[in-house]
């Protein structure tokens, strides 16, 4: 069932429907926080390099557009995926400058998950006198991210990567597809995360 686009897109729709209504924070955002998602390891002979993965690149693209529009400083957040790889925030910062022409002012490099993204980023930003941010991540990841940042003490306004397509009653939507497996994976990950965040102290 999870391999069917009609199922995976319905799950994504549940996450999108759970979004808080758009509302400005009590204070105007003073910075932009871009959450990491994934990383690509590229090997050419004996040379290994690291690039943002597809999810992270989509978030960078949305964050760069917002930065050009608002002229606000940018923080990227993400620690090491593997002990031998660089922090994802460092990879993102290099990509933001090289691929989008947007400099990064702060890097949070120690986090392993969304909750740690929030606590680490909040500590850095509050030390710089910042208490309100635009938060950039995928729409299906936004609700859990907002909970984490608000629990950490940061006012956060959602600035999601555009919503995923809604289910369509086409014959192709009932044929197994690889992308549906991926969407179902992330959807179940988020739904379980919602449950955990609802009870964690």
Q: What is the pLDDT of residue 95?
A: 97
Residue spans of the domains in the chain: they are: 23-166
Beta bridge partners, 51, equal: 40
Smallest Cα–Cα separation from 132: which of 100, 106, 158?
158
Position 139 scores a pLDDT of 86
pLDDT of residue 23: 52
User: Using an 8 Å Cβ cutoff, are 136 and 62 in contact?
Assistant: yes
pLDDT below 70 — which residues of the chain?
6-8, 10-11, 14-26, 163-167, 201
Whether the predicted model's global pTM rises above the 0.95 cut: no
What pLDDT shows up at residue 106? 98
CATH code of the region 23-166: 3.40.50.620
Give the per-residue pLDDT at 44. 85
- Quick one: pLDDT at residue 9? 72
Q: What is the model's pLDDT at position 71? A: 96
Cα angle 74, 78, 83 (rounded to 5 degrees) comes to: 145
pLDDT at 157 (0 to 100): 92
Q: pLDDT tens digit string along 14-67? A: 666 555 544 555 679 999 999 999 999 988 888 889 999 999 999 999 999 999
CA distances from 135 to 16, 33, 111, 186 (A): 16, 5, 16, 19
């Amino acid at each position: 069932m999870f391999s069917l686009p009609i199922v995976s897109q319905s799950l994504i729709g549940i996450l999108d429907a759970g979004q808080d209504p758009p509302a400005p924070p009590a204070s105007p955002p003073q910075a932009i926080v871009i959450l990491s998602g994934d990383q690509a390891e590229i090997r050419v002979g004996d040379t290994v390099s690291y690039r943002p993965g597809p999810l992270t690149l989509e978030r960078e693209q949305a964050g760069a557009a917002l930065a050009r529009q608002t002229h606000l400083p940018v923080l990227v957040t993400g620690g090491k995926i593997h002990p031998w790889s660089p922090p994802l925030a460092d990879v993102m910062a290099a990509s933001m400058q090289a691929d989008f022409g947007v400099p990064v002012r702060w890097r949070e490099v120690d986090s392993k998950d969304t909750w740690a993204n929030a606590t680490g980023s909040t500590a850095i930003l509050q030390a710089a006198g910042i208490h309100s941010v635009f938060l950039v991540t995928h729409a299906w990841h936004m609700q859990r991210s907002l909970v984490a940042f608000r629990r950490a003490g940061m006012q956060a306004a959602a600035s999601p990567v555009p919503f995923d397509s809604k289910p369509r009653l086409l014959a192709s939507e009932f044929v197994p597809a690889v992308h549906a497996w991926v969407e179902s994976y992330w959807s179940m990950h988020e739904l379980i995360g919602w449950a955990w965040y609802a009870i964690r102290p």
